[in-house]
């Protein structure tokens, strides 16, 4: 099945003036389908004249079964299948990774498409108030590579204190000094940072490299931070406070997802590795002795079973991992009993859900001499040109301002940064007239814009939400209670971060580029003065935005922690031969993007497994 773009017809109202809803928007998506809806994996399979082993595999018994082929699952598959004596099965609910995911400038067009699980939060009366149904969108990748194939590329580890805090919570082995070797193990750093061998790796599978195309407004944002005293700094090294064009999970102008880095190079070579796509696991098989011995999954409308001689490893991510555990009888006893699910183990699955919260709606306008907007014909031609390039370059080999990322401490006495800045590219006239609608049809490449929305991201959220099964359809989309701003102190870093950013108006950098703030109070906050604390809080409640970093729903912790689901070796409490290895195990979210830490978690988890099973014989 080809990649299917987001449905503009469903998103665009009649007679809309937004460009994405015009014939250009439909032509743009149609051309993407024409040029980029294929799949590299499908072409490899065709070239080697190989029916995927999933079609001819008869033996349904393996040593290890990995549920999910995202950032964690791909790493695990690579490491475990390196031992020829172990048979490894990977089950992925989504499709093969489509070519559209490889193009940096097309990341926006994947949101809401056929490779997005399309999750949304439940309304709570405190956040997402101006969104349709008062629900925030939580995109998650549904394909090989998972969310590493749909995200915005940034390779950021977080702060040393994050991991030291994990260890202080009773998670032995998870201090920064102990996890740094696992970050380096995966990394193949292709920039100057690779010369720093203390903090960076150069021999791993995961390519890390800046995208080759940088426009003037993206540089403006970094220069403004410099002028305000924030240095250019490698925030994956000793110190995190700093600004730079972030490094990305990319190489030579293309995305390198976990699938591209860890799975594709081995998938068609290792006979002990079986990968099945479009195979959604619906239940972990657990016997009366509380031993996980296999899984039940659905493929092509039929129910199948696969059995694990050693372990079942759940790597479905912070939404799908807790959902699967609960469907299998592992979770809060009261909730499962209400759904008539036999309780195998009473654990706080689905709790401790948290995310880096921010909001959209502060607008920096760029004059014509600085803006990067082009005609519709030029956008369409760039789609054709990028496809033909041997060495990928140009606007589609970029993320525009998205990855001009900076970290600050809003109080000098803080031990580590509490705010990260990211940006949403804008077409200002359209955005100002209907912000929520514009965001829902923000399909064009981020390299073309005449405004940016700076987003001060709270790195240390105190609010905690939860995830529950849907009582109307437990196998369907779960109920996600993000619980943003349940703790009002979560507004403080955002307010302070934006107040700092507002001072950029007086910098020589902004004056030189002609950039200025659109000081217009937007709906539904017109009755507040622009830029005040009250206005920021109103907008944060109205246009709340996830940064797509949900974690914590299968919390790692010591046995004395009543919220812990897995122990420090990632084994599920009370169930033998079952581990969860992905971002859901984070007890507290790291200060930064989550794909690099997720790979680190998988590297460390793989070592736990290898050490245990090799030492048994």
Give the tens place of pLDDT for each residue, 311-365.
999 999 999 999 999 999 999 999 999 999 999 999 999 999 999 999 999 999 9
Q: Look up tokens 């940034």; give the residue.
A: 154
User: Which pLDDT does position 617 carry in this prediction?
Assistant: 55
Q: What is the mean pLDDT of the chain?
A: 95
* pLDDT at 485 > cutoff 60: yes
Q: Look up tokens 């956008």; give the residue.
A: 379
The C-alpha atoms of residue 59 and residue 64 are separated, in whole angstroms, by: 13
The C-alpha atoms of residue 432 and residue 122 are separated, in whole angstroms, by: 26
CA 568 to chain centre: 23
Peptide bond into 524 cis (omega under 30): yes
406 — phi, psi (to 5°)?
-135, 155
Buried b (16+ CB within 10 A) or exposed e, 295-333: bebbeeeeeeebebebbbbbbbbbbbbbbbbbbbbbbbe
pLDDT band at 273 (very low <50, low <70, confident <90, very high): very high
List CB contacts of 611: < 8 A, sequence separation 6 or more. none
User: Which pLDDT does position 56 carry in this prediction?
Assistant: 45
Contact 528, 521 (CB under 8 A): yes
- What percentage of the chain carries pLDDT values higher than 90? 91
Contact 180, 199 (CB under 8 A): yes
Q: Coil, strand or helix: which one is 178?
A: helix
User: Which pLDDT does position 436 carry in this prediction?
Assistant: 75
List CB contacts of 526: < 8 A, sequence separation 6 or more. none
Give the tens place of pLDDT for each residue, 602-614.
999 999 999 999 9
Residue that wins the pLDDT comparison between 385 and 431:
385
Whole-angstrom CA distances from 308 to 223, 285, 291, 387, 391 are: 54, 10, 11, 42, 44
The model's pTM is 0.97
Residue that wins the pLDDT comparison between 209 and 49:
209
Q: What is the DSSP string of 451-483?
A: EEEEEEEESS----BEEE--TT-TTSPPEEE--
* pLDDT at 565 > cutoff 70: yes
Whole-angstrom CA distances from 43 to 51, 104, 132 are: 12, 21, 39
Q: How many CB atoms lie within 10 A of CB 203?
A: 10
The C-alpha atoms of residue 53 and residue 219 are separated, in whole angstroms, by: 48
Q: Coil, strand or helix: which one is 422?
A: strand
Give the tens place of pLDDT for each residue, 120-158.
999 999 999 999 999 999 999 999 999 999 999 999 999
List CB contacts of 35: < 8 A, sequence separation 6 or more. 99, 383, 384, 387
User: Which pLDDT does position 371 carry in this prediction?
Assistant: 96
- What percentage of the chain carries pLDDT values higher than 70? 98
- Topology of domain 8-538+549-614, CATH: FAD/NAD(P)-binding domain (3.50.50)
Q: Coil, strand or helix: which one is 463?
A: coil
The C-alpha atoms of residue 449 and residue 426 are separated, in whole angstroms, by: 5
The C-alpha atoms of residue 97 and residue 487 are separated, in whole angstroms, by: 39
The C-alpha atoms of residue 235 and residue 390 are separated, in whole angstroms, by: 32
Q: How many CB atoms lie within 10 A of CB 133?
A: 10
pLDDT band at 439 (very low <50, low <70, confident <90, very high): confident
* pLDDT at 59 > cutoff 70: no
Alpha-carbon radius of gyration of the chain: 23
pLDDT band at 55 (very low <50, low <70, confident <90, very high): very low
Q: What is the largest CA-CA distance in the chain?
A: 71
Give the tens place of pLDDT for each residue, 69-113.
999 999 999 999 999 999 999 999 999 999 999 999 999 999 999
* pLDDT at 616 > cutoff 80: no
Average pLDDT over residues 159-168: 98
The C-alpha atoms of residue 22 and residue 248 are separated, in whole angstroms, by: 32
Burial of residue 198, with CB atoms counted within 10 A of its CB: 0-12 exposed, 13-18 middle, 19 or more buried: exposed
Going by the DSSP 8-state scheme, the letter that residue 328 receives in this structure is T
Pairing of strands 302-314, 292-299: antiparallel
Q: Choose among 53, 145, 54, 29: nearest CA to 97.
A: 145
Residue 300, both tokens: 């092509």
H or E element, residue 308: strand 302-314
The C-alpha atoms of residue 102 and residue 116 are separated, in whole angstroms, by: 15
* pLDDT at 430 > cutoff 90: no
Question: Helix 160-168 to helix 176-186 angle, to the nearest 10 degrees?
Answer: 130
The C-alpha atoms of residue 227 and residue 504 are separated, in whole angstroms, by: 9
Q: What is the DSSP string of 199-260?
A: T--SSSSEEEB--S---HHHHHHHHHHHHTT--B--TTSS---EEEE--BSEETTEE--HII
CA 538 to chain centre: 26
H or E element, residue 182: helix 176-186
* pLDDT at 441 > cutoff 90: no
Average pLDDT over residues 430-450: 83
Question: Helix 23-36 to helix 376-388 angle, to the nearest 10 degrees?
Answer: 0
User: Which pLDDT does position 493 carry in this prediction?
Assistant: 98
Q: Which residues are registered as beta bridge partners of 538?
A: none
Q: Coil, strand or helix: which one is 509?
A: helix
Contact 477, 119 (CB under 8 A): yes
Contact 415, 233 (CB under 8 A): no
The C-alpha atoms of residue 462 and residue 589 are separated, in whole angstroms, by: 10
Q: Look up tokens 């665009």; give the residue.
A: 12
pLDDT band at 429 (very low <50, low <70, confident <90, very high): confident
310 — phi, psi (to 5°)?
-115, -65
Q: Choose among 268, 43, 10, 131: nearest CA to 545.
A: 131
Give the tens place of pLDDT for each residue, 574-600.
999 999 999 999 999 999 999 999 999
pLDDT band at 52 (very low <50, low <70, confident <90, very high): low
Does 256 show up as a binding residue in the annotation?
A: no
Q: What is the DSSP string of 127-168?
A: S-TTSGGG--EE--B-BTTGGGGTS--B-----HHHHHHHHH
Going by the DSSP 8-state scheme, the letter that residue 316 receives in this structure is -
**Active site residue ranges:** 549
Average pLDDT over residues 433-451: 85
Give the tens place of pLDDT for each residue, 204-225.
999 999 999 999 999 999 999 9
């Amino acid at each position: 099945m080809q990649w299917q773009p987001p449905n503009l017809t469903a998103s665009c109202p009649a007679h809309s003036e937004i460009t994405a809803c015009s014939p250009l928007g439909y032509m743009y998506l149609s051309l993407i389908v024409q040029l980029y809806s294929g799949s590299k994996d499908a072409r490899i399979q065709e070239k080697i004249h190989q029916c995927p082993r999933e079609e001819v595999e008869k033996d349904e018994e393996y040593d290890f079964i990995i549920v999910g082929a995202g950032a964690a699952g791909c790493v695990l598959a690579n490491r475990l299948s390196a031992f020829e004596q172990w048979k490894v099965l990977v089950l992925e609910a989504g499709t093969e990774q489509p070519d559209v995911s490889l193009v940096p400038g097309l990341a926006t067009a994947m949101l809401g498409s056929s490779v997005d699980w399309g999750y949304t939060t439940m309304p709570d009366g405190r956040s997402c108030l101006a969104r349709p149904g008062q629900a925030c969108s939580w995109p998650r990748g549904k394909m090989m590579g998972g969310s590493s194939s749909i995200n915005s590329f940034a390779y950021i580890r977080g702060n040393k204190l994050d991991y030291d805090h994990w260890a202080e919570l009773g998670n032995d082995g998870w201090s920064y000094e102990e996890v740094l070797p696992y970050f380096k193990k995966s990394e193949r750093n292709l920039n100057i940072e690779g010369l720093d061998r203390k903090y960076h790796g150069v021999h791993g599978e995961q390519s890390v490299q800046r995208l080759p195309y940088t426009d003037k407004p993206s540089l403006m944002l970094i220069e403004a931070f410099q002028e305000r005293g924030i240095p250019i700094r490698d925030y994956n090294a000793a110190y995190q406070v700093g600004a730079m064009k972030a490094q990305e999970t990319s190489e030579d102008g293309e995305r390198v997802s976990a699938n591209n880095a860890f799975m594709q190079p081995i998938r068609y070579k290792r006979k002990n590795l079986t990968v099945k796509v479009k195979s959604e696991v619906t239940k972990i098989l657990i016997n009366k002795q509380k031993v996980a011995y296999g899984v039940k999954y659905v493929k092509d409308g039929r129910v199948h079973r696969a059995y694990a001689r050693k372990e079942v490893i759940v790597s479905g991510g912070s939404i799908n991992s807790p959902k699967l555990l609960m469907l299998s009888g592992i979770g809060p006893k009261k909730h499962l009993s209400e759904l008539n699910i036999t309780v195998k183990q009473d654990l706080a699955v689905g709790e401790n859900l948290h995310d880096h919260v921010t909001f959209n709606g502060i607008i920096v306008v760029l004059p014509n001499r600085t803006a990067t907007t082009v005609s519709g014909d030029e956008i369409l031609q760039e789609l054709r040109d990028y496809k033909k390039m041997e060495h990928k370059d140009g606007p589609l080999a970029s993320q525009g301002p998205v990855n001009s990322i900076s970290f600050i401490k809003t109080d000098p006495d803080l031990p580590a940064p509490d705010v990260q800045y990211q940006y949403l590219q804008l077409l200002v006239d359209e955005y100002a007239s209907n912000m929520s609608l514009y965001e829902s049809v923000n399909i064009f490449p981020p390299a073309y814009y005449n405004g940016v929305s700076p987003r001060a991201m709270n790195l240390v959220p105190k609010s905690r939400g939860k995830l529950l099964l849907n009582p109307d359809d437990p196998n369907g989309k779960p109920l996600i209670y993000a619980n943003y701003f349940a703790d009002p102190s979560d507004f403080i870093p955002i307010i302070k971060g934006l107040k700092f950013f507002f001072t950029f108006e007086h910098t020589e950098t902004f004056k030189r580029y002609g950039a200025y703030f659109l000081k217009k109070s937007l709906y539904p906050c017109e009755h507040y003065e622009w830029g005040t604390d009250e206005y920021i809080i109103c907008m944060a409640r109205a246009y709340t935005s996830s940064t797509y970093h949900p974690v914590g729903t299968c919390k790692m912790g010591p046995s004395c922690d009543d919220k812990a689901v897995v122990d420090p070796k990632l084994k599920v409490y009370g169930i033998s031969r079952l581990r969860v290895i992905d971002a859901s195990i984070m007890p507290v979210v790291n200060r930064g993007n989550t794909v690099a830490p997720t790979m680190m978690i998988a590297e460390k988890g793989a070592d736990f497994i290898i050490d245990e099973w090799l030492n048994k014989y």
